[in-house]
């Protein structure tokens, strides 16, 4: 316990106009300033945050043992060590997408032929990686602490559940919130278009006769978003073949995944990318708009179930309606500086949502058989 903070931490006098400190403690690498606020919480946070950041600290107002306290922790920088967890998940996802990709190429995943699925793996992980790299680069640009991407292996149709980065600390302003939120979808969408175009010009995959003629075969039909349909139209390439012995090149599915993930991430709720963008565009109004989103997803699911022979697609939107409800309940990110965006960012935000709409598919996947 001490009356004064460490030499590298701000003195209580630097923010005494908004927080009257009566005790300072150091514990577990954090500096705790116990005191009484003399203004509202939003003004307090806006005032003390830049003071502490200039000294290399992140700060949050908390309650400890019934007392209000400013908890200041050193702003984390890259340790320079090997990110073993990120690397392990990357390798695991590489293997899972390679294994699943072998089925897209109709080869034995337990033989050297599995390497034929490398283009699929590179396409899927490349699109996901570019998306997360967009978030990561803009996080570093705005000096927001962020981890490297964590890829998520999963034994699904694509071998992965996507990738995420983890952000710590507070968001400095709306500009940072917007840039970080929009950079991922925009970068990932560019990658998805490029990957989809490459896949469309690659030769189709031959479907073995035993698969075509099997009475127990289950057909998985994919809907294609307007954006991918437009790319195919520009290139003059088909997205499906009338010949059942031919299937589109699996690399196309890397573009499909990127576009579908872009749409899902741009759902404007909570701490999804779309939630970040909406919050930065309209401020606190985002919290009133967000509850409409899960309602819309449940309505879409009900419509598909009642009017369309696509019951499993309805299940997809029920699941996302539940997820949207959860992230809506968790709330959106509150930036320290809540001043509105400039017109250029507003225009980019509207464009981002418009591009996301071009990735929408009412029936993304349908199982027939």
d(CA 7, CA 132): 37
With contact defined as beta carbons under 8 Å apart, do 37 and 25 qualify? no
HEC string of 62-107 equals EEECCEEEEEEEECCCCCCCCCHHHHHHHHHHHHHHHHHHHHHCCC
Phi then psi for residue 365, to 5 deg, are: -140, 135
Residue pLDDT, tens place only, 294-349: 999 999 999 888 886 665 778 889 999 999 999 988 888 889 888 999 999 999 99
pLDDT tens track, the chain, 369 positions: 455 788 888 999 899 999 999 999 888 888 999 999 999 888 898 899 889 988 888 888 888 888 899 998 887 655 556 789 999 999 999 999 999 999 999 999 999 999 999 999 999 999 999 999 999 999 999 988 888 999 999 988 899 999 999 887 789 999 999 999 999 999 999 999 999 999 999 999 988 888 777 767 677 888 999 999 999 999 999 998 888 888 999 999 999 999 999 999 999 999 899 999 999 999 999 989 988 999 999 999 998 888 866 657 788 899 999 999 999 888 888 898 889 999 999 999 999 999 999 999 999 988 765
Q: Quick check: 367 and 223 in contact, CB under 8 A?
A: no
- Ordered by start, the domain boundaries in the chain are 12-74, 84-290+331-368
Tokens linked to 72: 């200041």
pTM of the model: 0.88
Tell me which fold the domain 12-74 belongs to: Hypothetical Protein Ta0175; Chain: A, domain 2 (3.90.1070)
- Please give the Cα distance from 281 to 117 (Å, whole number): 42
Q: What is the pLDDT of residues 75-94, one digit of tens each?
A: 765 555 678 999 999 999 99
User: C-alpha distances in angstroms, 313 versus 229, 246, 298, 304?
Assistant: 20, 25, 12, 7
First to last CA, the chain: 70
Could you give the CA distance from residue 153 to residue 160 in angstroms, rounded to a whole number? 4
Token pair for 247:
């299937």
CA dihedral in degrees (207, 208, 214, 218; nearest 10)? -30
Q: What is the CA radius of gyration of the chain?
A: 25
């Amino acid at each position: 316990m001490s009356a004064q903070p460490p030499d590298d931490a701000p003195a209580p006098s630097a923010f005494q106009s908004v927080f009257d400190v009566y005790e300072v403690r150091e514990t577990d690498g954090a500096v705790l300033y116990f005191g009484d606020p003399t203004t509202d919480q939003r003004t307090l946070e806006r005032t003390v945050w830049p003071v502490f950041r200039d000294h290399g600290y992140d700060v949050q107002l908390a309650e400890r043992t019934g007392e209000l306290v400013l908890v200041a922790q050193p702003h984390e920088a890259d340790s320079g060590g090997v990110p073993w967890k990120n690397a392990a998940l990357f390798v695991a996802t590489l293997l899972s997408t390679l294994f699943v990709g072998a089925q897209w190429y109709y080869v034995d995943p337990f033989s050297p032929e599995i390497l034929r699925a490398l283009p699929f793996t590179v396409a899927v992980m490349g699109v996901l990686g570019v998306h997360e790299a967009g978030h990561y680069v803009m996080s570093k640009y705005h000096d927001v602490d962020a981890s490297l991407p964590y890829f998520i292996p999963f034994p699904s149709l694509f071998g992965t559940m996507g990738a995420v980065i983890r952000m710590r600390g507070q968001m400095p302003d709306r500009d940072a919130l917007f840039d970080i939120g929009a950079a991922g979808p925009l970068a990932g969408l560019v990658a998805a278009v490029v990957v989809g175009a490459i896949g469309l010009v690659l030769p189709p995959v031959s479907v073995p006769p035993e698969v075509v003629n099997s009475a127990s075969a289950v057909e998985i039909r994919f809907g294609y978003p307007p954006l991918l349909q437009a790319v195919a139209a520009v290139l003059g390439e088909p997205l499906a073949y009338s010949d059942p012995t031919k299937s589109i090149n699996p690399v196309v599915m890397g573009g499909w995944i990127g576009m579908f993930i872009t749409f899902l991430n741009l759902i404007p709720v909570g701490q999804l990318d779309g939630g970040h963008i909406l919050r930065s565009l309209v401020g606190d109004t985002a919290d009133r708009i967000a509850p409409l989103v899960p309602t819309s997803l449940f309505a879409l699911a009900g419509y598909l179930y009642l009017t369309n022979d696509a019951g499993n697609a309805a299940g997809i939107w029920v699941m996302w309606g539940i997820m949207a409800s959860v992230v809506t309940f968790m709330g959106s990110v509150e930036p320290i500086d809540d001043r509105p965006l400039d017109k250029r960012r507003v225009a980019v935000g509207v464009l981002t949502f418009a591009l996301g709409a071009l990735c929408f598919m009412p029936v993304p996947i349908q199982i027939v058989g």
